[in-house]
Amino acid sequence: MLEDIYPDKEWIELISKLPSGTTVILGPSNVGKSYLSMFLFTKLQKVKRKIALITLDPGQPIVGLPLNLSLSLSNPLRMPYKLKFTGTFSPRKNIAATLSSAKTLLDVAKESLAEYIIVDTCGYISTTEAREYKLHLIETLSPTLVVCIGNKEILPLFKVVRKFFPTILIPPSNKAKVITRQKRRDRRTRKILAHLQNYTLETVPFDQVIDTNCMIASELLKYTTPTATLVGIIDSVNFCKGLGIITNIKEMLEVATAVEIKKEDKILISKERCEDLLHKLGLQSEIRIYKRHLIPVVYPTANED
């Protein structure tokens, strides 16, 4: 990946003066935040520094796994060291989970004795709510340095953040390209598809299933049509092991997943659905009426490879 990154002069200067500790990268979309994070990570790793990358953008398709925040300690393009499931593609829809999960991942990075912790964030900065969220996030992470990338859009946040933490402002990358929402969505679907590639259909009793609105799953599922809803498989210490997709609901929840679901795991229902993923996985749905709501029933096709 590094061969594809063309660093700006500000990025090269940043490497030589980067303080150890936590560096948070803020900015609007498509300015080069994620590429800068990867650049810093790869450069520091080459000179044998212990480095962690925390990615707080659960919608991005490159590092980690969609619907999750991630902590990588080695190659960020591989499965991360730890994942925290937020259940949305945008932190906007679940700010509380994003803040607490970000803190958890930072604590794990510190426990793993990372000298440098780079935190990549999402491009949600333009509204009052977005700026409030980013300020809470910065306070939660208490960084050694904040790097603001961008022009006019980042200035209001930059002016406030620098009153609290050491902050620098750099321009958008010369090489930054606009990735459209549709392209981002397509890449995300491909990433989830690859993750679910070797799926099996698993049935899970409802007492292992949790909805983020704290509804009792068996009740909730009577009133919704959650087929094609993505779920997270959460281990006994509350990290995410991987994703699944709901294929059917009867006395139990049926999910397609490539990770093993143990008795002590929980299934967290996300706020996101991905209908075309079922088709891409070779699962076809058929709609039938159930308690006056439409519940799609899904059968695996004969040829699954």
Ligand X SMILES: Nc1ncnc2c1ncn2[C@@H]1O[C@H](COP(=O)(O)OP(=O)(O)OP(=O)(O)O)[C@@H](O)[C@H]1O
Residues 23-52 that bind ligand X (CB under 6 A): 27, 29-35
Segment contacting ligand X by CB under 6 A, of 67-75, 176-184, 226-234, 296-304: 176-184
Pairing of strands 82-85, 68-72: antiparallel
* Out of 22, 23, 34, 270, the residue judged to bind Mg ion by CB under 5 A: 34
> Residue 150 or 226: which CB sits closer to ligand X?
150
Q: Which amino acid is at 203?
A: T
Contacts 24+ apart (CB under 8 A), 128-132: 129/92, 130/92, 131/156, 131/157, 131/160
Q: Are the beta carbons of 20 and 144 closer than 8 angstroms? A: yes
Three-class SS of residue 131? Answer: helix
175 binds ligand X (CB under 6 A): yes
- Residue 19: count other Cβ atoms within 10 Å of its Cβ: 11
At a CB cut-off of 8 Å and minimum separation 6, what does 219 contact?
A: none
The span from the CA of 243 to the CA of 226, in Å, is 15
Q: Are the beta carbons of 252 and 292 closer than 8 angstroms? A: no
For 6-24, the DSSP string reads ---HHHHHHHHHPPSEEEE
20 contacts which partner out of Mg ion, ligand X, none, CB within 5 to 8 A by kind? none
> Residue 33 or 84: which CB sits closer to Mg ion?
33
179 binds ligand X (CB under 6 A): yes
> Residue 59 or 244: which CB sits closer to Mg ion?
59
122 binds ligand X (CB under 6 A): yes
> Residue 57 or 254: which CB sits closer to ligand X?
57
Segment contacting Mg ion by CB under 5 A, of 30-38, 73-81, 168-176, 238-246: 30-38
6 binds ligand X (CB under 6 A): yes
Minimum distance from residue 120 beta carbon to Mg ion (Å): 6
Pairing of strands 116-120, 21-26: parallel
The span from the CA of 34 to the CA of 142, in Å, is 20
Minimum distance from residue 126 beta carbon to ligand X (Å): 12
56 binds ligand X (CB under 6 A): no
* Out of 91, 123, 242, 296, the residue judged to bind ligand X by CB under 6 A: 123
Which residues are at the interface with Mg ion (CB under 5 A)?
Answer: 33-34
The residues that touch ligand X, with contacts defined as CB under 6 A, are: 4-7, 27, 29-35, 57, 60, 122-123, 173, 175-177, 179
